[in-house]
């Protein structure tokens, strides 16, 4: 694997390999000194054109636990408008000598362009409404932790599918691993075409919940109601929010997931987020280990050599 741009590039064997490595990095993370020298001497830079403290911290933590040197290149949209082109910025960073570039950008496709311009490995940390591969990987890992396998599980992904990079990556990852995915959203928040998507669509959340093994709630961007996509957040919550009452439709062992940050009271009620089968904080914890696995696969000098090494060696 040279770069991680899209879940579409990963087959079952790749996903299994990443999950297996993640198991080992979960073990590392539980040590007293959760650090291995796997990427010592390597430089990992995060290039974020969009504010995302959570994802950036998760990647930086992962890189540090692998003993990589880390740099953080936060680009505000205003400095972009001062004239430096995307290509200039990327080539400036590469000239500093980096091994991995972690890219987050509000426009779809930018990680592909970056990968074309540099020799370093590129990780897509979210590109516009397109993909967020490491989120999908940590979601798969979290589900496996709870259920052993995704094979045959019924997953409902609920919310703003049209604008969601998480939904696109999750659909690819979940279905590759054998889950059945149903998208649940008002028609205004579905992509214009679902041709080629291995999914079912249902506009009625109440109909989907009793049969779901997993309900995956997407974050509702609060500005959608100003784009004629929704009359109001109140109406969205009434039809698509996982309210306390609606959560009673779920099977007892159904998992509740969310990529964060949550809008409590909009797509998910506070009590539901806190219920035992909500694995939302577990998703965050697994995020670091999954990202360690990805960085290790992309930049590890001798795969498998250093994972269990002496942290001071």
Q: Which is nearer to another protein, 61 or 124 (CB)?
A: 124
Judged by CB under 8 A, the chain residues 188 through 217 that form the site for another protein are: 191-197
CA dist 58 and 284 (Å) reads 8
| 274 backbone dihedrals φ, ψ, rounded to 5° | -95, 0
DSSP string computed for 79-131: HHTTT--HHHHHHHHHHTT-SEEEEEESSTTHHHHHHHH-SSEEEEEEETTTB
Whole-number minimum distance, CB 226 to another protein, in Å? Answer: 13
Q: State the binding string over 145-184 for another protein (x if CB under 8 A, else -).
A: --------------------x--x----------------
CA dist 76 and 80 (Å) reads 7
CA dist 105 and 62 (Å) reads 20
Q: State the binding string over 44-83 for another protein (x if CB under 8 A, else -).
A: ---------------------------------------x
Q: Which is nearer to another protein, 115 or 156 (CB)?
A: 115
CA dist 86 and 313 (Å) reads 39
By rule CB under 8 A, what count of residues binds another protein?
A: 27
CA dist 160 and 204 (Å) reads 14
Whole-number minimum distance, CB 109 to another protein, in Å? Answer: 3
CA dist 234 and 65 (Å) reads 42
Neighbour-count burial of 62, counting CB atoms closer than 10 A to its CB (0-12 exposed, 13-18 middle, 19+ buried): buried
Q: Which is nearer to another protein, 116 or 274 (CB)?
A: 116
Whole-number minimum distance, CB 184 to another protein, in Å? Answer: 17
Q: State the binding string over 86-115 for another protein (x if CB under 8 A, else -).
A: xxx----------------xxxxxx-xx--
Whole-number minimum distance, CB 194 to another protein, in Å? Answer: 7
Among the candidate windows 136-144, 187-195, 256-264, 296-304, which touches another protein by CB under 8 A? Answer: 187-195
Q: Which is nearer to another protein, 87 or 248 (CB)?
A: 87
CA dist 293 and 160 (Å) reads 29
Binding site for another protein (CB under 8 A): 83, 85-88, 105-110, 112-113, 127-131, 165, 168, 191-197
């Amino acid at each position: 694997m040279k770069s991680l741009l899209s879940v579409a590039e990963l087959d079952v064997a790749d996903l299994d390999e990443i999950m297996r490595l993640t198991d080992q990095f979960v073990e590392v993370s539980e040590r007293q000194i959760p650090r291995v020298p796997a990427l010592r001497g390597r430089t990992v830079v995060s290039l974020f054109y969009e504010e995302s403290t959570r994802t950036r911290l998760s990647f930086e933590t992962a890189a540090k636990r692998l003993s990589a040197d880390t740099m953080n290149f936060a680009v505000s949209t205003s400095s972009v408008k001062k004239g430096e082109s995307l290509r200039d910025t990327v080539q400036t960073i590469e000239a500093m000598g980096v091994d991995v570039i972690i890219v987050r950008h509000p426009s779809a496709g930018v990680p592909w362009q970056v990968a074309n311009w540099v020799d370093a490995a590129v990780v897509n940390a979210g590109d516009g409404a397109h993909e967020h591969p490491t989120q999908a990987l940590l979601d798969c890992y979290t589900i496996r932790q709870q259920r052993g396998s995704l094979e045959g599980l019924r997953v409902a992904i609920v919310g703003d599918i049209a604008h969601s990079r998480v939904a696109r990556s999750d659909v690819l990852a979940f279905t590759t691993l054998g889950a059945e995915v149903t998208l649940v959203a008002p028609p205004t928040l579905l992509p214009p075409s679902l041709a080629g998507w291995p999914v079912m669509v249902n506009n009625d959340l109440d109909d989907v919940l009793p049969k779901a093994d997993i309900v995956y709630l997407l974050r509702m961007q609060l500005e959608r109601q100003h784009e004629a996509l929704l009359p109001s957040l109140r109406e969205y919550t009434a039809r698509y929010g996982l309210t306390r009452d609606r959560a009673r439709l779920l099977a007892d062992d159904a998992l509740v997931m969310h990529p964060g940050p949550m809008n409590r009271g909009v797509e998910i009620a506070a009590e539901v987020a806190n219920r035992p089968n909500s694995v939302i904080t577990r998703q965050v914890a697994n995020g670091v280990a999954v990202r360690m696995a990805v960085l290790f696969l992309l930049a590890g000098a001798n795969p498998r050599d250093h994972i269990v090494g002496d942290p001071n060696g």
